[in-house]
């Protein structure tokens, strides 16, 4: 008996027991993971080294890239090990820890997306006051607040979850520890844990989504009032990448965590979870780099500078 439970570990059922499929998923996810980490690190390095990107929008972007690295690293490395191992197990405390970090990093992403929307709202709707309202000190405090708030969101719900007893079965029909499949394994009353977690996720996800939508209603209204078509296009182009990320992220998040508890299947949850945990972090660096001219130019300048230095050292 440990932590008041007779079960000390859970077994992931993952996707399939087929050895060929396991190898394919291992190779595919390893490639996606390395590309995602590389892309997000590249964004962080470019933002830090390029003087022209030392603005609030790109500071938030570098924080978003750090969050994506942590979010993907919370699930993918363990999944890759499981694909090669004969036994896909995780301890109860490790499972709750993984669930905590999944919600912590997810909440932080919500807050960062709100901060980025607020930054665009100030830049487009109040351009004359933007430099004074959104200076480096305030921007740094906002980013720090996003991380602290994300850390605190799942803290007390996780304490309630840690008090649950798990008596069997111990098989999780998923590839990582998510709330619904973990609660299904408990042999005690889970209503307090479920209500606390769902209250947090509903409040954070829907609250942040509504704030982002309110910001963009004001942004669209301000853009449409601009007399110049070129000015409208330039103003709205600064929001395009953020809007795409918001649409992809909230499409999968709302389906996963803000929905009735009936009428869903484990298979559909797994598919959406792959999109939420793997595809979205993989796409974000490319969306921001391909849709953003300043990031592309800074990347080109950084690469050219490094190449020139390398050539000079070689000669």
Q: What CATH number did the domain enclosing 33 receive?
A: 1.20.1070.10
- Predicted TM-score (pTM) of the model is 0.86
pLDDT values of the chain reduced to their tens digit, one per residue, 315 residues: 444 447 788 888 877 667 777 788 888 889 999 999 998 998 888 888 887 778 888 899 899 999 999 988 998 998 888 887 767 888 888 888 999 999 999 999 999 999 999 999 998 888 888 888 888 888 999 999 999 999 999 988 888 888 888 877 788 888 888 888 888 888 888 888 888 888 888 899 999 999 999 999 999 888 888 887 877 787 777 788 788 888 888 887 877 776 655 555 556 667 777 777 888 888 887 787 766 677 767 767 766 555 444 444 344
Q: Is residue 273 part of a domain?
A: yes
User: Considering only CA atoms, which of 257, 246, 261, 258 is closest in space to residue 109?
Assistant: 246
Residue with tokens 């690293």: 73
Q: Is residue 170 part of a domain?
A: yes
Domain hosting residue 165, numbered range: 9-314
Q: Is residue 237 part of a domain?
A: yes
User: Do 151 and 125 contact (CB within 8 A), yes or no?
Assistant: no
User: Considering only CA atoms, which of 120, 126, 144, 109 is closest in space to residue 55?
Assistant: 120
Q: Is residue 38 part of a domain?
A: yes
Q: Please give the Cα distance from 285 to 61 (Å, whole number).
A: 9
Q: Is residue 177 part of a domain?
A: yes
Structure tokens at 160: 């309630």
Q: Is residue 166 part of a domain?
A: yes
Q: Is residue 106 part of a domain?
A: yes
What's the number of domains the chain is made of? Answer: 1
């Amino acid at each position: 008996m440990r932590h008041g439970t007779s079960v000390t570990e859970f077994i992931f059922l993952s996707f399939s027991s087929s050895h060929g499929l396991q190898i394919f998923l291992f190779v595919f996810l390893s490639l996606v993971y390395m590309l995602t980490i590389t892309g997000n690190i590249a964004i962080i390095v470019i933002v830090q080294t390029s003087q022209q990107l030392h603005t609030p929008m790109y500071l938030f972007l570098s924080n978003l890239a750090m969050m994506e690295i942590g979010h993907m690293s919370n699930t993918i490395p363990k999944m890759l090990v499981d694909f090669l191992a004969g036994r896909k197990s995780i301890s109860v405390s490790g499972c709750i820890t993984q669930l905590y970090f999944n919600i912590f990093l997810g909440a932080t992403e919500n807050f960062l997306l709100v901060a980025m929307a607020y930054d665009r709202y100030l830049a487009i709707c109040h351009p004359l006051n933007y430099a004074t309202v959104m200076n480096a000190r305030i921007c740094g405090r906002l980013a720090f607040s996003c991380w602290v708030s994300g850390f605190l969101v799942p803290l007390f719900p996780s304490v309630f979850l840690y008090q649950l007893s798990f008596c069997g079965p111990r098989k999780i029909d998923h590839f990582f520890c998510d709330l619904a499949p973990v609660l299904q394994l408990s042999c005690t009353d889970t209503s307090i844990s479920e209500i606390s977690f769902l209250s947090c996720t509903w409040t954070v996800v829907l609250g942040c989504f509504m704030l982002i939508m309110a910001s963009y209603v004001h942004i669209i209204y301000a853009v449409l009032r601009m007399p110049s078509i070129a000015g409208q296009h330039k103003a709205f182009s600064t929001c395009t990448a953020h809007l795409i990320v918001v649409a992809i992220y909230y499409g999968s998040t709302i389906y996963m965590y803000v929905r009735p508890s009936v009428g869903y299947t484990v298979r559909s949850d797994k598919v959406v979870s792959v999109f939420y945990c793997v595809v979205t972090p993989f796409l974000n660096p490319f969306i921001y780099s391909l849709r953003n001219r300043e990031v592309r130019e800074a990347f080109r300048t950084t690469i050219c500078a490094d190449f020139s230095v390398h050539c000079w050292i070689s000669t």
